[in-house]
Amino acid sequence: AQSVTQLGSHVSVSEGALVLLRCNYSSSVPPYLFWYVQYPNQGLQLLLKYTSAATLVKGINGFEAEFKKSETSFHLTKPSAHMSDAAEYFCAVTSPGGYNKLIFGAGTRLAVHP
């Protein structure tokens, strides 16, 4: 069975500081991993995804994530936070083929203060 754990339900950073949102996964088969973002009163949108090509994945709005198989992690980072990054972030895992489900983590709410 697959699962996702996001460490920290709330993260607060200063504007301009490094953003680090943690995601660890469990999967018995090679995973595909995703980060989605949800702005207030909106649905989710894709930030980036890992599908077994390059382990360092770049996404929209300056975010990137690195797949580390040895650590079963897919942490999301951004060098310099902006006020507009305040949102909830979800890590998700699935596996190749068929109609496999996308399993979401519990989410991390990012606050950015001046």
CB-nearer residue toward other proteins: 17 or 59: 59
Between the CA of residue 105 and those of 23, 30, 70, 81, what are the distances in Å? 8, 18, 20, 22
Size of the site for other proteins (CB under 8 A): 27
- Nearest Cα neighbor of 19 from 61, 69, 54, 52 is 61
Total Cβ atoms within 10 A of residue 18: 11
Q: How far is the CB of 15 from other proteins (least distance, A)?
A: 26
CB-nearer residue toward other proteins: 14 or 61: 61
Residue 95 interacting with other proteins (CB under 8 A): yes
Q: How far is the CB of 88 from other proteins (least distance, A)?
A: 9
Q: How far is the CB of 93 from other proteins (least distance, A)?
A: 11
Q: Are 49 and 63 in contact (CB under 8 A)?
A: no
